[in-house]
Every structure is written in C-alpha cells, then in structure tokens.
C-alpha cells in the first residue's frame, strides 16, 4: 500500500506495530523512503485489503491504493511524492517570504501587531503539515516528529502573542517575542523536508529509469502481417519482429535473423552481444544492427525486466537487522524527548536564573526542535534504495537488505567450475565409440540429453545434429544431478553421464577411455550394462576469471574451486584462474557438505554457481551468488544474482554491499550521536558554565541538517563506479 503522511521512524513503528497485531498478518514492513507499507497476510473473512487499509487510516495516514506487486503501487507513491514536493515548494516559498518580516521586523520598524498578523499565516498555513500530524497523533494517542515541531512552534507563537498584547504582565527581562523561533522552525524544517524529499526521489532514479524505458508495444506477426500491439495482447509462442534500432519487446528466442543486442539495461555491459537463431533475447534491450523474428517465451508481466524491477522494489523495501533495532529505539524516542523537554523546562522555571520563563520556554522549544527521529528513520532505507538502485544499474541484484550484513562478513568465496569460471558452453572435440556404430552412440546420446539442462547436453546435441543423427524413442526419463541421466528406450535402459557414475552402476569402462592423463572431460553412454562409448568435451575459461580471483584475494577473501569434473581438469583450470584450493570430483550434495564444513570452521561462505547442480550448495551457503546465464532454479536459490558475464562484477557486488552497510552504520551513528550531543545542549547543559545557549531557530536548523546529511551521505552510493578500493 502506498501511504502518504509517513515522515519518521516513529510513524514506521506505529504502523508496523498496529498492523502486525491483526490476526492473520504474517509480516509487515514499512519502507519510509518509498512511503510503502508491505503486508504479507493470510486472507480471512475478517482480514482483507479493506481491513488493512482501515487499520492504517485509523492511525491518521492516507492509503493511496493497493496492489499485489511493488511495481503496481510504486507509481501511485511516486505521483504522491511529486504532489508533496509541489506543496512543500509552495509552502517553503511563502514561509520564507513571511519569515523575512518576522526576523527583520525590528530593523524594518514594523509594528508588533503587524508582525503578529504576518505570523498568523506562517504559523497556521506554513506549519499546517506539522499541525495536521499533531492532530492525528493526538487521535491515536501517540507522538512523532510532527508532534515535536508543532508543539515547539505553538509554544513560541502563543508566548510571543501573549508578550505582544499583554507585555505588562510579563517580567521586563522576559518581554522578548519568539518570532524568530516560529519563523526559523517552520521555514528551516520545511526546507529540510523539501530537500529530503528531492534527494529521496533521486535515490529511486535507477528503478524509475528501468520502468520509464520499458517497452510498451511490440510488432506481432499475425496472418503474415506486422501488427503493433500492447505487450498484454501478445501470447507466449507468438512471433514478434524487431527492426534495427528498436527495443526487444518481450523475452524470447531468436527464430530467424542475426543481429547484435545492447543488453546494458540489464547487465551494465556496454558492448553489444551477437545473437543468432536459438539465442535468448530480453525485453527492454536494444536491437542494434539486423532485423530478427523472436518467439515469445514469457508474457510481459514475467519478463526479465519486469522481474528485476519487482525484485529491486522488494529488496529496497526490506530491512536489515540493524534497522529493526533502530525502529525499536525510535518507537520510544519521541515520548522520551517530550519528557526530557518538559522536565528541562520545569527545572529552568523553578531553579534557573532570571528570566526564568524565557529560559524555560527556550529550553522546551529547543529540545523539541533539535530532536530528530527523521534521521533515525531514514538512515537505513535511503542507503538501501540508493545502493541497491546503483547495484541494479550495474547488473547486480541483491534479494533483500538482510543479506547486506552477511555479504559484508564473507570470508570465503566458493566457485563452481562449469558455467561459472568457464563459459559453460563446452564443445565435443571427439567421439569415441567402444561398442557398436557411431550412429547408434549418437542416437542414444541425443535421446538422453534432449531433456537435460546440463551444459554437456547442449554440446552433445549440437555435435549429434551436425552429424545428422536422429534420437531414439524415449519411454522414461530421470535425471541424477551431478551424475547423468537415465532413459528407457525400446525396453532398454540407457545411461549417459560421468564415467565414475557409470562404473558405480556396474558398467565396465575400457582402460583406454578412462586414462587419467587423457585431456578433456568425458560423457559416457551405456545401454543396460554395455559401454557404447564416450564423448570428449572441452570448455573455455572466462577471460575475466583470473582478474576476478585476484580482486577477491586482494579483498582478503579465500577463493576455493569445487567441481564435479576430474581432478586433472579441475586443477588445470584452478591454475589458470589463480586458485590454490580445489575440491574435484564432488557430487552436488557433497558441494553442500563442503560449504557446511567451511561454516563449521566459523567462516562466512559465499557460493557462486549457475546450474541445477549448484542449487543445494547455494541454499546452504550464507550468501548464494548466481550468474543470470544459469538455470532458473539456481537463480531462485541465490541471494545475489549477477547479470553481467564479467566475473569481476562479483567483487564489485561484494564491495558495493559492504559500502552500503558502511553507509548505513555511518548514518545511524551520526543520527544517534547527533541526538545524544545536541539534546543536552538544547536543554541548556552548557549555559551555566560556558554561557552557550542553543536558540530554537538554530535547533530547527540542526534538525533539518541531520536529515539532509543522512540523505546526502546515502546519495553518495549513486556515484559508486565499481573500482577497487
């Protein structure tokens, strides 16, 4: 639900506490920067969207709508933010104009009554957004930032009005109006809120950019003619045509034609990628050179771009563990400030020097004005929105904010080999028939590998098709991750997979095939217990693998290679990449056990993989990192997904995560330190010995400055360039 009226951490705490108490609500999270309330609940007769809206609105906030995805409601929130910025701009301009007369009334020789008349619209209209918040806080018997500001300005306004009209009833030393406090508090805090809203809007730029440039229509081929249709009107399986210079409308496979595609929108990689029949293309990317026909594989709502926007929105709305602690502190913050301010005013009124009334009022107003739950509430969400938005632009997607703490603590990075350190596109360099003909070997291999997702399967299929082979009929299929596949064809059991697995199934492998010094990886084929032959495959290391390992090592991380391939293949690749520690010949479940063993040594483990076989290890790791070129199951199991094929982006993603966490801690430290230091100063702690008194106007300026500093510090993340630190 997009909600207007959320301004500080106290608002967050109230909404989360109230909504979470409803029966059937599983979780509730308030994204203060995005003004969104995200609720996961179990629908009941007495709990639905209407009841959730009512619960929030009873607290005095306005629910602008609701939806089942972040993208659906973010537009409403963004529009509300634009309207709020417009209102704040007008309010700020008028308040600043009126403040000139209140601050310079003596110099301009204005009558005290004229100044009072000018103060009325400033106090009532200029500060209306604060007074409205006070009204709602009284209705819900709670307090927030608006409560503090409104009480401060009303105290100053009413005292100044009293001094203006009844000066003889006030001691001579206390006959000082507080119009500068009224003007300073309303104008400066409104300015802080305006600047904060502008900065907050900029932190959303990355996702807003993705949404703005997402394609709206495609050229669908129907009846042999091109028809321009909205994305929602095109079905999976239809053919769309993309001309040079146009956006690819939907995710799909190239049916005909060849071209180069600019995929920088998704991957951050500026170099175009060549595409030919059978290649994947993604909605939102730019077709550069040739015309292509694309078979649609996913509807627009499930395209890679749509899922990325949704994932980034959800991640930006999530909270790290430290923010949950800050929210608990903020929930008690405003009531504590009200108690401190009231107690301070009483102490000055009872025991302070003359003018006691002036000192008591000034202390009360300054304490209320200087306390800033805004900074506490914005410290984490602004850093997360800015940092995760920047990561998305660079092609790195982090599942949620809680993972930032785990990513920042990583000690060990474990790489899978095939498709991760290598391209994952091995080629068959030789076929070795052992029994029967080559045609028979190819026929059974095709039948088995047509349904497999392993990179070896694609290589064998390409080799067999090039040789003109036809697949044998398949009556049954079963995959054994990390080992191979089993089919039944013509009543016979056919196994294709690693030689070690075939041996374990009772297949006798000829010594000349299983020679340890023989280069390349092997895929064996057996029918019943007879070994038909094998294919020799070779893969190529990614050109950025060595640099990626170097960067990770320079960051102080241990890098390990795990592979189900033979020892000779794994160690040769590790040497090329600069990796010292290797686990070779391991099965998928053994990869997960290796991760657990490292964790038992007290290490925080990141696992990098891309295949079906890697999903168990990715799930067991503290941080699972998947390459977007991999399988959907690996991506679903991962906590971080890297779209860019450049492996150095792994180090960039980890560094950016660490930087986001560091900015969060900086923001929280300064937000807490600011209040710890300035509240006693505002209460007059330095006045008896040093004669230092924090005037209300300066207290208001300091309050605005704290929120602005948090926003600007977070905004630095938008300029992160991915270079080594």
User: Out of 42-56, 86-100, 102-116, 604-618, which region has the weakest mean confidence (pLDDT)?
Assistant: 604-618
Burial 535-553 (b: 16+ CB within 10 A, else e): bbbebebbebbbbbbbbbb
Q: What are phi and psi of 616, to 5 degrees?
A: -60, -45
Residue 654: pLDDT over 50: yes
For the chain, residues classed under CATH 3.40.50.1000 are 401-422+541-638
φ/ψ region of 660 (left if φ > 0, alpha if ψ in -120 to 50, else beta) reads: alpha
Q: What are phi and psi of 627, to 5 degrees?
A: -90, 135
Residue 494, pLDDT score: 93
Q: Which residues contact 15 (CB under 8 A, 6 or more apart)?
A: 3, 6, 28, 30, 37, 56, 59, 61
**12 — pLDDT class (breaks 50, 70, 90):** confident
User: Out of 31-35, 42-46, 206-210, 567-571, which region has the weakest mean confidence (pLDDT)?
Assistant: 206-210
User: What does the block give as tokens for 330?
Assistant: 């903020």
Do the Cβ atoms of 14 and 90 come closer than 8 Å? no
Neighbours of 54 (CB within 10 A): 10
The catalytic residue among 31, 262, 416, 646 is 416
Pairing of strands 62-63, 25-31: unpaired
Mean pLDDT, rounded, for 143-156: 79
Share of the chain above pLDDT 70, in %: 86
Residue 72, pLDDT score: 66
E-state strands within 593-666: 605-609, 623-627, 640-642
Pairing of strands 259-262, 280-281: unpaired
For the chain, residues classed under CATH 3.40.1110.10 are 427-538
Q: Which residues contact 43 (CB under 8 A, 6 or more apart)?
A: 24
Residue 630: pLDDT over 70: no
Residue in 661, 659, 670, 660 with CA at minimum distance from that of residue 710: 670
Mean pLDDT, rounded, for 188-197: 76
User: What does the block give as tokens for 47?
Assistant: 């709990």
User: What does the block give as tokens for 689?
Assistant: 């010995």
CATH for 427-538 (3.30.70.260, 2.40.40.20, 3.40.1110.10, 2.30.40.10):
3.40.1110.10
For the chain, residues classed under CATH 2.70.150.10 are 235-298
Residue 531, pLDDT score: 92
Residue 701: pLDDT over 80: no
Residue 364, pLDDT score: 82
Interval 46-103: pLDDT, tens: 888 889 999 998 888 888 888 776 666 767 777 777 787 888 899 999 999 998 988 8
Residue 634, pLDDT score: 47
Q: Is 514 a catalytic residue?
A: no
Residue in 509, 516, 501 with CA at minimum distance from that of residue 532: 509
Residue 321: pLDDT over 90: no
Residue 374, pLDDT score: 67
pTM (whole model) above 0.85: no
Q: Which CATH superfamily is domain 401-422+541-638 in?
A: HAD superfamily/HAD-like (3.40.50.1000)
Mean pLDDT, rounded, for 600-618: 80
User: Out of 70-74, 251-255, 651-655, which region has the weakest mean confidence (pLDDT)?
Assistant: 70-74
Interval 484-520: pLDDT, tens: 899 999 889 999 998 888 988 888 888 777 665 566 7
Interval 264-290: pLDDT, tens: 766 656 667 888 888 888 888 888 888
Interval 347-383: pLDDT, tens: 988 888 887 887 888 888 888 777 766 677 677 777 8
Residue 444, pLDDT score: 92
Interval 685-698: pLDDT, tens: 888 888 887 777 77
Q: Which of 60-69, 156-165, 200-209 has the highest mean pLDDT?
A: 156-165
Q: What is the mean pLDDT of the chain?
A: 82
Residue in 348, 375, 373 with CA at minimum distance from that of residue 360: 348
What CATH number is given for 235-298 in this structure? 2.70.150.10
- Residues 151, 189: Cα–Cα separation, whole Å: 14
- Residues 43, 47: Cα–Cα separation, whole Å: 6
- Residues 706, 680: Cα–Cα separation, whole Å: 16
Pairing of strands 412-416, 259-262: unpaired
Q: What is the DSSP letter of 70?
A: H
Helix (H) or strand (E) holding 661: helix 648-682
Interval 549-564: pLDDT, tens: 999 999 999 999 988 7
- Residues 521, 238: Cα–Cα separation, whole Å: 39
Residue 589: pLDDT over 80: no
């Amino acid at each position: 639900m997009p909600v207007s009226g959320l301004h500080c951490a106290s608002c967050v705490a109230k909404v989360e506490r109230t909504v979470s108490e409803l029966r059937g609500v599983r979780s509730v999270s308030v994204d203060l920067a995005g003004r969104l309330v995200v609720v996961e609940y179990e629908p009941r007769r007495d709990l639905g969207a209407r009841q959730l809206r009512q619960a929030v609105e009873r607290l005095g906030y306005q629910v602008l709508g609701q939806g089942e995805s972040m993208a659906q409601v973010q537009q409403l929130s963004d529009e509300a933010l634009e309207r709020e910025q417009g209102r704040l701009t007008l309010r700020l301009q008028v308040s600043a104009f009126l403040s000139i007369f209140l601050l310079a009334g003596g110099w301009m020789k204005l009558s005290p009554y004229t100044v009072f008349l000018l103060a009325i619209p400033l106090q009532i209209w200029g500060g209306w957004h604060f007074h409205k918040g006070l009204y709602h806080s009284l209705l819900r018997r709670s307090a927030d930032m608006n409560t503090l500001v409104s009480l401060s300005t009303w105290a100053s306004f009413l005292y100044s009005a009293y001094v203006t009209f009844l000066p003889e009833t006030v001691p001579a030393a206390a006959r000082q109006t507080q119009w500068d406090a009224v003007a300073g508090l309303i104008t400066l805090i409104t300015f802080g809120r305006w600047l904060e809203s502008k900065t907050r809007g900029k932190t959303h730029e990355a996702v807003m950019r993705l949404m703005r440039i997402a394609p709206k229509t495609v050229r669908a081929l129907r009846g042999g003619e091109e028809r321009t249709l909205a994305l929602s009107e095109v079905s999976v399986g239809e053919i769309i045509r993309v001309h040079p210079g146009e956006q690819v409308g939907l995710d799909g496979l190239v049916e005909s034609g060849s071209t180069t595609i600019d995929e920088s929108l998704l991957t951050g990689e500026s170099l175009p990628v060549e595409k030919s029949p059978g290649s994947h293309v993604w909605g939102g990317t730019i077709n550069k050179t040739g015309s292509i026909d694309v078979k649609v594989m996913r509807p627009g709502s499930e395209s890679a771009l749509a899922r990325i926007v949704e994932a980034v929105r959800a991640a930006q709305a999530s909270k790290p563990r430290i923010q949950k602690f800050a929210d608990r502190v903020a929930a008690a913050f405003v009531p504590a400030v009200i108690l401190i301010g009231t107690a301070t005013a009483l102490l000055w009124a009872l025991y302070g020097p003359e003018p006691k009334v002036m000192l008591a009022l000034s202390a009360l107003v300054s304490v209320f004005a200087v306390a800033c739950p805004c900074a506490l509430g914005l410290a984490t969400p602004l850093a997360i929105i800015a940092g995760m938005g920047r990561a998305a632009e660079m092609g790195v997607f982090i599942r949620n904010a809680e993972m930032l703490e785990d990513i920042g603590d990583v000690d060990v990075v474990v790489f899978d080999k095939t498709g991760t350190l290598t391209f994952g596109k091995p080629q068959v360099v030789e076929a070795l028939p052992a029994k029967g003909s080559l045609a028979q070997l190819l026929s059974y291999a095709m039948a088995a590998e047509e349904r497999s997702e392993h990179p070896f399967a694609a290589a064998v299929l390409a080799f067999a098709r090039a040789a003109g082979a036809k697949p044998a009929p398949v009556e049954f299929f079963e995959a054994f991750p990390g080992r191979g596949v089993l089919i039944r064809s013509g009543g016979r059991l056919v196994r294709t997979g690693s030689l070690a697995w075939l041996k374990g199934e009772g297949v006798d492998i000829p010594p000349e095939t299983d020679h340890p010094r023989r280069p390349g990886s092997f895929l064996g084929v057996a029918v019943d217990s007879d070994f038909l032959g094998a294919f020799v495959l070779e893969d190529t290391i990614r050109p950025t693998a060595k640099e990626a390992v170097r960067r990770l090592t320079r960051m102080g991380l241990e890098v390990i290679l795990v592979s189900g391939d033979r020892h000779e293949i794994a160690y040769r690749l590790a040497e090329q990449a600069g990796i010292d520690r290797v686990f070779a010949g391991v099965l998928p479940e053994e990869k997960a056990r290796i991760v657990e063993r490292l964790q038992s040594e007290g290490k925080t483990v990141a696992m990098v993989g891309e295949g079906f076989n890697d999903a168990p290890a990715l799930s067991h790791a503290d941080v699972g990192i998947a390459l977007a070129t991999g399988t959907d199951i690996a991506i679903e199991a991962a906590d971080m997904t890297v779209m860019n094929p450049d492996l150095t982006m792994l180090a960039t993603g980890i560094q950016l995560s660490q930087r986001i966490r560091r900015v969060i801690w900086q923001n929280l430290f300064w937000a807490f330190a600011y209040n710890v230091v300035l509240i006693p100063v505002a209460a007059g702690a330095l006045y008896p010995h040093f004669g230092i008194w924090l005037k209300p106007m300066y207290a208001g300026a300091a309050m605005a400055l704290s929120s602005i500093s948090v926003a600007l510090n977070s905004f630095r993340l938008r300029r992160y360039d991915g270079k080594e630190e």
